[in-house]
Structure 1
Amino acid sequence: MSSPHIRESSPVMENENPKSRFTYKHLCQLASFSPSSPLRVIAHIDLDAFYAQCEMVRLNIPENQPLAVQQWQSLIAVNYPAREFGVSRHCTVADAKKLCPYLVTQHVATWREGDDKWAYRKDAAANIASDKVSLDPYRLQSRKILQLIKESLPSHLQRVEKASIDEVFCDLSAQVHSILLERFPELTRPPPHGDLAERLPRPPVVALDWMADALVDLDEDAESQDPDWDDVAILIGSEIIRAVRTRIREKLRYTCSAGIANNKLLSKLGSAHKKPNQQTVIRSRAIQHFLSDLKITKIRNFGGKLGDNVTSAFGVETVRELLPTTLDQMKSKLGDETGTWVYSTIRGVDHSEVSSRTQIKSMLSAKSFRPAIRTVEQATPWLRIFAADISARLDEEDSRRRPKTMNLHHRHGGQTKSRQAAIPQGKALDAQLLFDLARTLLNQILSEGNVWPCMNLSLSVGSFEDSGVGNMGISGFLLKGEEAQALKSGAKDPGSPVVSDRPAAKRRRLDGAGQGGTGGIHRFLVKQSTTNDKSMSLAADNTKGHEDEDSDSGLHKGSEWQSEAGDAPSESLKCSRCGASFDCPEGFQSHQDWHLAKDLQDEERGQATAAAHPPPSARPKRPNGPTSSSKNGGRGGKIEHGQQKLTFGGS
């Protein structure tokens, strides 16, 4: 059975070139989501001007009506009809309306003291001192879209990763593998001599119908080649994503753009290539042609310090200008790890996996004060708003998951003070409980004196766990002295908040310090802000220079604020399985959970599914997981218990 969008070749053509470039092993890897498979298919779906679309759908505004989303006197999102008039996020509301007199400006929803829910208010723009921005309406729509995407793909063949509030990665490899076997029964036959290294037969096609896809051009040499199985796989992926986008459009009325390629790096670049409401396909043969004219700083992870260092070190602006630089030259100027990673990335190499984990790690509610607040009476109402905000969002999340810790940060001048507490277990987690605990933390900060005026307050909850785990986790047994006693007391008496006078344990450094490393690429991928009192670090959001960012909301994707320890570290904890050391019980417990989850995954799948990571320099080191190389985890190592060799033809 062949696809209606594929034209069969003649027998003469088959005899001239009977073998594919790809092997039966590559086909098997496709079924197991292997990042090393050259046939893998990754899609990136990006909602078009998402916040603006949310308001257009909510207000039932015609699609050709210019609209911008307003936050105070600034714009945080502009739809495409408004952009045609020159309106951008850099405009003020007044300037935007001069450019486009018919522009609709919808202010974001806000929280206000005394209310138990966010609301849309006509006077919000005039009440910056008393209101706090809420992105909850957009979060709710984001969840609906993510759920619809998952429902549109076979549950047993999907990997879907929420990359941010308005973008999703999909690894379509296993589904594409299943469709390939259905459309081309010859692929179900065992390889000659049972050797997976044997090359596949050529696809029985000479032309593919890409329909409405924006197809990246090939260079002259590649244009003369007939399609191979990677082209057919990408075509099937584009059909799948076209159907998903159509369903989002029909069910929820949102348009989105998409990129389809063989890795996350390229698919993300592809989704931004043609907007709005289009999808771009980057075939393997078109990768270098596509990347060559891109500015280096437009590539993911090159938008900050790393991009500036690369362009200044080599005096270049585009990928084409950097390509002649040898690997040795890059290593000499950027270091071995960073140089190797840059060398691979500008050639479109990316082995990072699509992670199906979509559960949040933390929730944060924050407010920057203009003008600054100067009394506890001014600060306390904001704590109540923060608590109500977080409580409402917790109610919308999975009810089985509950945060274990709360952090309060207070910025005064160039200093940031912070306090952390354990959230009492066994009691209803409502706004009042969060507010009482936050007020206790604020009082601790105030007791130090010299805290006014305050320019920013932020409240966050984190360390989520399943609510059925119990009142006291393993960290309670690993803590010593006063901390252990306090945690035990809190577990016994749910009504008494457990507050630690010590700041949160210092997050393990991502730059390799203390392990003999000098940093590598990690130092470019982490934003750090050091103050005179406490320092806070925020893991860099490497998703994109987001069009719809809200500076007041404190929206940090998959990251947490943590304060640096002000005293000696606790006794080191060591993993008996891999030798990794940890200086905080939470990190050690998370690491053990990682091992357990990995064991269960391997057992279910019947074979080892060790993740194939990008080069070490291409990502921050995981603080809670083992390194990418283990004693027996190499591809050439012997088969361990619970593993089995790949069998051909599985879906």
Structure 2
Amino acid sequence: MRMSSPRFQPSSPIHGTGRRKSQFTYRQLSLLASYSTSSPLRVIAHVDLDAFYAQAEMVRLGIAEDQPLAVQQWQGLIAVNYPARSFGIGRHCTVTDAKKLCPKLIAQHVATWKEGDEKWAYHDDAASHIGTHKVSLDPYRLQSRKILALIKESLPPNLQKVEKASIDEVFLDLSAHIHSILLQRFPELTNPPPYDDPTEKLPLPPITALDWQADALIDLEDAELEADDPDWDDVVILIGSEIVRDIRAHIRRALGYTCSAGIAGNKMLSKLGSGYKKPNQQTVIRNRAVQHFLSGMKFTKIRNLGGKLGDQVVSSFNTETIKDLLPVPVEQMKLKLGDDTGVWLYNTIRGIDPSEVNSRTQIKSMLSAKSFRPSINNQEQGIKWLRIFAADIFSRLVEEGVLENRRRPKTINLHHRGQGGQTRSRQSSIPQGRTLDEATIFELAKNLFSQIIQEARVWPCANLSLSVGGFEDGVTGNLGIGAFLLKGDEARESRGTSREASVGSSTHERPEKKRRVDNPGIQRFFPRKGSSSGGDVEESLDDDVVDTVNPRIRTKEASPNRTGNGPKPIMDNYIKVCTRCDARLDDAEALQNHLDWHFAKDLQDEERGKRTFANSHSTVSRGQKTATASSSSSKKPTRASASNSKLEHGQSKLKFG
């Protein structure tokens, strides 16, 4: 029911003890602020770009909105704008067939990579070079990131929960944002519940009509059931529609894109709503209209019900419509589909979906692939494509912040498919601790390719794909322990600079105050002098992710307990002094870095001594080692060994030999 009245119209009933109450409680209102999936007042929006790839090309080329356009990939179409759809053109059409239906159709080929290019580009002759070009969707990824950033910019920084569902669709949990607006518009909701009982019912909203403006509002099954006075679930979803309308307008003004949206009480309904009226419209599904909205729909339109599970449901119950499934008891669904699936289906066709909006929008992997038509037949051809894959992936890694160490992948995988369909894969780790560049990715890919070639016959090759994954956030601002292990002239220059600083700052020295840390803490993870534990120190240092462990804590706790002459800092208000080499540093952070250098040097010298000791006893028999190991295993586990059983994120185990 669409009203032309103001957005909120005051209600005629006077507040009093006899006034009807809302069906919602104070507790349910408070749940709205915490994004609780159990709140019946929850509001979720789904924003979907209209024919996104086609729109991106129209915006890039400055093409009028009424001009038919399709995005071409080789001889097929991957996107068709709405003016072109009116001619009966779909993604199943070939370019030739589409131009027969609409002679004025603009068929824009996607950007492609070709060997020798440092970046993807738009090539006029790309369609005739399927054997030497590879499709790039990077232009659309870049636009997608801009749109996502704009959506986040439109929401309060502390009240946004955004999930990028794909390159052209986003879920928004607007609950907490709406809660804050609700308290501003209706201050009476800030009062405590009567008798301080959160289960008390809320008063009804002090309004009689809601203005849904241009929204596609799903009607109720019986128009007479439309209440004169809305309840709070209607009010919150109206506020949600206002927020989404503003977001869509902002995207339109700033970037030129239109998008459709669905606003409802959960993710499933909002996604169905965004596709209900296209293009450039938004659909509102109130709680009271859910059953009417779903009843005439095929359940195969619902996510996870369009594939094999959907086919199984159709064959089990001889129907495709939700309306026909509603009378089926849950026990019968469980019997035919299994307990979990049966309950899930029973709830889904009734519009129940407790899934959360996942605010993690970062990608988990990157893939660059090519299907060869015709197949390639030698290693030289394959390596040419690996070079393109490496350039493709690296250009996207740069956008993810790999150069600034914000995010980087841990693994690389090469997948090969032969002409007969047989597949082979090889994976390796990506070296950490150094800048990741295109050449590194290319070399790793070639190594994996060589492994696949050596193990079996791989020609002709029908498909190759290179991917990186296992992304983790980088650590910036911290120095690895290797940064403190200076050698030769660099070390002498460092010591000379420290002594000069000591002489130059001596006139400003104030009474010294010693600071001591007695807690052994992290010291227990390191072998004591005289221990027989061996191992390669450089390997141990590489394996221990020092950047993720606070080096300040490590030095203060470990160094004094490891050696009798460990660095003991002298602290004062202006300069920091190292008693080990008399260096004076400007501040506590500089002193701590200096002490870490001493500690790392001591550790290196000590471990070198242990290796010499271990080498001199290399004639120990295997039986003696076994007996020692057996004896050690019978002892009660130490605290250090127990702590090694579980590592914090970003840490790895030190090797003690």
In structure 2, the residue matched to 1:522 is: none
The residue type equivalent to 2:400 in the other structure is E
1:63 to 65, 81, 85: 65
The farther-off stretch of 401-410 and 224-233 is 224-233
In structure 1, the residue matched to 2:21 is: 19
After superposition, the Cα gap between the structure-2 partners of 1:263 and 1:211, relative to the gap in structure 1 and judged at 3 Å, is: same
1:345 to 348, 353, 367: 348
In structure 2, the residue matched to 1:274 is: 277
The residue type equivalent to 2:121 in the other structure is A
1:452 to 440, 443, 459: 459
Decide whether the 8 Å contact of 2:6 with 2:210 is kept in 1.
no
Correspondence 1:112-127 to 2 at 5 A:
112-127=114-129
In structure 1, the residue matched to 2:486 is: none
Decide whether the 8 Å contact of 1:424 with 1:491 is kept in 2.
no
- How far the C-alpha of 1:489 sits from its partner, in A, is 9.1
The residue type equivalent to 2:447 in the other structure is T
1:160-181 deviation per Cα after TM superposition (whole angstroms, max 9, x unaligned): 1100000000000011001111
Correspondence 1:597-612 to 2 at 5 A:
none
1:255-282 deviation per Cα after TM superposition (whole angstroms, max 9, x unaligned): 0000000100000000000000000000
- How far the C-alpha of 1:491 sits from its partner, in A, is 4.5
Decide whether the 8 Å contact of 1:425 with 1:471 is kept in 2.
no
In structure 1, the residue matched to 2:583 is: none
1:396 to 389, 395, 399: 399
Correspondence 1:261-300 to 2 at 5 A:
261-300=264-303
The residue type equivalent to 1:330 in the other structure is M
- How far the C-alpha of 1:222 sits from its partner, in A, is 3.6
1: CA distance between counterparts of 2:649 and 2:430?
Answer: 21
Any stretches of 5+ residues in structure 2 without a counterpart? 482-524, 526-534, 545-645, 651-657
1: CA distance between counterparts of 2:543 and 2:250?
Answer: 50
After superposition, the Cα gap between the structure-2 partners of 1:370 and 1:471, relative to the gap in structure 1 and judged at 3 Å, is: farther
The residue type equivalent to 1:366 in the other structure is A
Correspondence 1:70-469 to 2 at 5 A:
70-220=72-222, 222-224=225-227, 226-399=229-402, 400-412=406-418, 413-468=420-475
2: CA distance between counterparts of 1:99 and 1:489?
Answer: 68
1:10 to 12, 24, 40: 12
1: CA distance between counterparts of 2:289 and 2:17?
Answer: 26
Decide whether the 8 Å contact of 1:14 with 1:202 is kept in 2.
no
The residue type equivalent to 1:167 in the other structure is E
Q: What do you get for the CA RMSD once the two structures are aligned? A: 2.4
The residue type equivalent to 2:424 in the other structure is K
- How far the C-alpha of 1:428 sits from its partner, in A, is 2.5
- How far the C-alpha of 1:431 sits from its partner, in A, is 1.2
- How far the C-alpha of 1:17 sits from its partner, in A, is 5.1
Decide whether the 8 Å contact of 1:72 with 1:128 is kept in 2.
yes
2: CA distance between counterparts of 1:79 and 1:11?
Answer: 50
Decide whether the 8 Å contact of 1:471 with 1:491 is kept in 2.
no
- How far the C-alpha of 1:131 sits from its partner, in A, is 0.3
Q: Which structure has more helix as a fraction of its residues?
A: 2
* Count of paired positions: 487
1:45 to 44, 47, 50: 47
1:379-431 deviation per Cα after TM superposition (whole angstroms, max 9, x unaligned): 11000000000000001113411111100010112321111111112332111
1: CA distance between counterparts of 2:281 and 2:475?
Answer: 44
Larger RCO (alpha carbons 8 Å, 6+ apart): 1
2: CA distance between counterparts of 1:273 and 1:593?
Answer: 43
TM-score where L is the length of structure 1: 0.72
2: CA distance between counterparts of 1:383 and 1:29?
Answer: 52
Identical residues among aligned pairs (%): 68
After superposition, the Cα gap between the structure-2 partners of 1:366 and 1:189, relative to the gap in structure 1 and judged at 3 Å, is: same
The residue type equivalent to 1:346 in the other structure is I
After superposition, the Cα gap between the structure-2 partners of 1:225 and 1:219, relative to the gap in structure 1 and judged at 3 Å, is: farther
In structure 2, the residue matched to 1:648 is: none
Decide whether the 8 Å contact of 2:209 with 2:228 is kept in 1.
no
1:577-618 deviation per Cα after TM superposition (whole angstroms, max 9, x unaligned): xxxxxxxxxxx87xx659xxxxxxxxxxxxxxxxxxxxxxxx
SS at match of 1:156: coil
Any stretches of 5+ residues in structure 1 without a counterpart? 478-483, 494-587, 595-651
Decide whether the 8 Å contact of 1:291 with 1:319 is kept in 2.
yes
SS at match of 1:445: helix
The residue type equivalent to 1:256 in the other structure is C
SS at match of 1:11: coil
The farther-off stretch of 222-231 and 19-28 is 222-231
1:323-373 deviation per Cα after TM superposition (whole angstroms, max 9, x unaligned): 010101101100110000000000000111111111111101001111111
2: CA distance between counterparts of 1:466 and 1:254?
Answer: 32
- How far the C-alpha of 1:205 sits from its partner, in A, is 1.7
TM-score where L is the length of structure 2: 0.71
The residue type equivalent to 2:456 in the other structure is G
The residue type equivalent to 2:163 in the other structure is E
2: CA distance between counterparts of 1:102 and 1:488?
Answer: 65
1:9-30 deviation per Cα after TM superposition (whole angstroms, max 9, x unaligned): 2116987752000000000000
